[in-house]
Amino acid sequence: MSNAKDSDLQLCAEMSGYATEMGSLKMKLANGVTADAILKQVQRKRAKLEAIQAIKSQLATLVDEKNAMRAELLKLRKQLRAGVLGVYGDDSAQFQAVGGVRASERKKPVRKV
């Protein structure tokens, strides 16, 4: 992804250079391409690149916040189950209701002979 951004920035720099040369040489092309037209297009391109970068930054912040919220919810789930386990025990319907596996439903260990 950064390669596309780099190539976009390189293209903007290249076209700005061409526009500067056109302006200094007072070049006029028959097809209506002017140094000002090139510079305006480069400015619009750079503005779009900046807007994209701002959105990417905002997205990264939101993803970080989402991940932190997930970690907090996982911690709360663990605390909830531990609390229910302490009050009702590991073979209770209440423990099963909060996502725990009842002791009587766990697979029994098999002894190796």
Q: What is the DSSP string of 57-110?
A: HHHHHHHHHHHHHHHHHHHHHHHHHHHHHHHH-TTSHHHHHTTPPPGGGSPPPP
What is the mean pLDDT of the segment spanning 106-110? 85
Query: What average pLDDT does the structure give for the chain?
Result: 89
What is the SS3 assignment for 107?
coil
Residue 9 predicted with pLDDT over 90: no
Which residue would you say has higher pLDDT here, 28 or 110? 110
pTM: 0.63
DSSP state of 103: G
Residue 61 pLDDT > 90, yes or no? yes
Asked if 19 and 39 count as a contact pair (C-beta separation under 8 A), the reply is yes
Highest mean pLDDT among 27-31, 75-79, 104-108: 75-79
The pLDDT assigned to 97 comes to: 94
pLDDT at 5: 61
Q: Which two tokens stand for residue 67?
A: 């991940």
Domain assignments of the chain as residue spans, ordered by start: 2-105
pLDDT of residue 55: 97
**Pair 102, 95: CB distance under 8 Å:** yes
What was the pLDDT predicted at 2? 54
pLDDT above 90 coverage of the chain, percent: 57
